[in-house]
Structures are given as structure tokens and as C-alpha cells.
Amino acid sequence: MEKFSELEEKLNISFKDKNLLAQAFCHRSYLNENPGFGTGHNERLEFLGDAVLELIVSERLFLDHPDEGEGSLTSWRAALVNSKSLSKTARELDFDDFLLLSRGERKEKGKARQEILANTFEAFVGALYLDRGYKICKKFIEAHLTAKLPSILENHEFVDCKSRFQEIAQEKEKVTPHYEVLKEWGPDHAKNFVAGIFLGEKLVAQGEGLSKQEAEEAAAREGLKKKKWN
């Protein structure tokens, strides 16, 4: 449990129950190799953290944007709490260094690790809520997650870029865009993709992701910028 004192110091948060903090980082696979570890896995904490996260983010958006409708607030919340956003935040906080995984899971990268990190972030929120209460949990989420909203809005990360690009392309250029995978690399369980978005034969933009869908969305987002269709 001592390894987590470094994380507590980094986050300036001290857990009363150190076992609860360790459990937040304990993947089910770790217990298969370490049955006497002393805590359960983090899936129940993930369940709780998901609900706490949604409430705190929803409350912040509701209070900060009184003139916005339900549709916009829902899109913004989804952009903040989706797997990609949570895993990115978890990496920024060095959660990757504290994951308790089996030897096999430690080798997994790409999409699989992204999901594990996102789930661990939710589990950490659940553990923090149980251990320190709503106020400190809210302070943590607002500092590390909802503070990213201005950047998300500026980069239109809340928009379904593929749908948006297609809608405008059909309206302005009377053509439906299509996508092609231009490059892929890595093992089957951790592939990376570069996708291109085309109007007719013309390559408009490229995007990279951990799945074809993610790469296509990134290409569409870049295409909107290049065509100045934002």
C-alpha cells in the first residue's frame, strides 16, 4: 500500500482508508495472480464513481451555463466523461504507474489500456467519494476534468464530426464523404490506425486513433478545420 502515498502527495489528497485507494486501482486480473492481496477488485467502485462523476459534471454544467438547453449540456457532458477523456485525464495524473494488473494485462496497450484507465478513473472517484465525501470529490473533478470544457468547446470535441462533415459536404458540395484506412500498425489487441476522409478522389484530411472509428472521427474533425466548416 505504500506505493500509493506518492499518488496521494501528487494529488494533495490523503485517504483515511488506504485499502480503499488501493482497491480503486486493482483490476480483476490482478487478483487471479495475487488472491491474498487483501482488497477486492475495482468494479463496484467503478459503478459508484460513474454515477458520482455524472452528477458532479451535470451540476457544474447546469450552474455555469444557465442559458444552454438540455441538448448542448448533454453533448458537453458526454465529451467530458467519455472513455477517451477519462483515460487521457488518468494518464495526465500518472494513474498508469499505479495500476494493479496481471502480467498479461500489463502488456496490453492501445484501446484495452485506454478502457482500463477510464474505468480506474471512475473507480478512484467512487473511492474518493466514500472516503472523503462529496465536497472533496467535487473539488477533484472540477480541477482535473470540468476545467477542460473551454478546450473541448474551442476544438468542437463535443460534436459528432463525421455527421457534421457529411451534412455540410452534401449541402455545399453535393457529395458524400468516404473514409479509407491509410495506415495501421501494432498487434491485433493494440492496433493504431490512420484514416483519411475523401471528397470524391480528393484527400481532405487525416486522423489517427486506436480504432478505425476513432481515426475516422479525428479525420472528420481535422477536415472541418481545413475546410473552415467549424
Catalytic center residues: 50, 122
Rama region for 203: left / alpha / beta (φ>0; ψ in -120 to 50; rest) = beta
Are 62 and 136 in contact by the 8 Å Cβ rule? The answer is: no
Dist. CA 114–CA 27, nearest whole Å: 13
Are 157 and 79 in contact by the 8 Å Cβ rule? The answer is: yes
Burial class from Cβ neighbours inside 10 Å (0-12, 13-18, 19+) for residue 197 reads buried
Dist. CA 211–CA 201, nearest whole Å: 23
Dist. CA 20–CA 48, nearest whole Å: 13
Cell, residue 134? 462529496
Strand order in the sheet with 178-185: 178-185, 192-199, 202-209
Dist. CA 148–CA 200, nearest whole Å: 36
Dist. CA 100–CA 23, nearest whole Å: 9
Burial class from Cβ neighbours inside 10 Å (0-12, 13-18, 19+) for residue 27 reads buried
